[in-house]
Amino acid sequence: MSKIEGVILDWAGTTVDFGCFAPVNVFVDIFKHAGINVTMEEARAPMGMLKIDHIRAMLSMPRISKLWEGQCGVPFNEQDVENLYAEFEPALMASLSEYTDPIPEVIETVEVLRNQGLKIGSTTGYTDSMMDVVVPNALKKGYGPDFYITPDGTNSLGRPYPYMIFRNMEALKLSATWQVIKVGDTTSDIKEGINAGVWSVGVIIGSSEMGLNLEEFNALSEGDREALITKTEQSFRKNGADFTIKTMSELPELIEEINKLIAEGKRPNAR
């Protein structure tokens, strides 16, 4: 019987770096150095994309674009994007190893899935050189997928393009898109999954979409916590997610549910 063969996980905000804080702080800083104050919401909105694409997306936002033109006298151009990225990469690299702690329940869940015979792939908005820091540090702390690829391996065509997912499927010998689940914490992740034709799942707690660190999340009242979970879930659903889970520990049960849907002839992203 056909069933799920593999799960493809995002990195920051999904499996490591609760709240996805490594890149967001640097985005805020590089714009501040350029004389423009951006909000955390603006810095997070394109999260999950290749980082130079993320900078381009931020500069294209109407408010930031207008501020840039006011500051520089002309609209932003590609050289501005490259200049900001040249500042972004070394700043991120300097702090990246501090943001490689696995998110609670990830290590245990991956072990459960592996014991069920599932392959564990991964995609990211980081580059190869960034992952040279993240992968070994996460592995020391107990987390490592069977395969990872960055947009460097797909001619810089990162999310929302589907190509990183297809490279995972090839490397892990996964049979069909509808036997694959993509799990991520941003709208870019959701769109990547949809574009690849796999089951697209948003993970809520610890996500960039939610935007809180572990201490901030734990400090919320139960009512505030539930309201934020609902708001994040609605955002994922609005962007086309097939399912959402609160934490990674819910994934094995969701896979059982999806296997039943597959047996009934259902396919991902059915609108």
The token pair at 17 is 């770096």
Q: Reduced to 3 states, what is the DSSP secondary structure of residue 196? A: helix
Query: 271 pLDDT exceeds 70?
Result: no
Over residues 67-111, the pLDDT tens digits come to 999 999 999 999 999 999 999 999 999 999 999 999 999 999 999
Rounded (5°) CA angle 128-248-101: 50
Binding site, annotated residues: 10, 12, 185
pLDDT over 70 for what percent of the chain? Answer: 99
What's the pTM value of the predicted model, to 2 decimals? 0.95
Q: Point out the annotated binding site for Mg(2+).
A: 10, 12, 185
> What are the domain boundaries of the chain?
6-20+100-263, 21-98
* Separation of first and last alpha carbons in the chain: 25
pLDDT surpassing 90 at residue 227: yes
CATH of 6-20+100-263, one of 3.40.50.720, 3.40.50.1000, 2.60.40.10, 3.30.365.10: 3.40.50.1000
* 185 vs 203: CA distance, rounded Å: 5
Instruction: Please name the fold of domain 21-98.
Output: DNA polymerase; domain 1 (1.10.150)
Share of the chain above pLDDT 90, in %: 98
**Active site (catalytic) residues:** 10, 51
| Contact yes or no for 120/114 (Cβ under 8 A) | yes
CB 54 within 8 A of CB 242: no
Render pLDDT for 71-81 as a digit per residue (tens, 0 to 9): 999 999 999 99
Contact criterion met (CB below 8 Å) for 100 and 141: yes
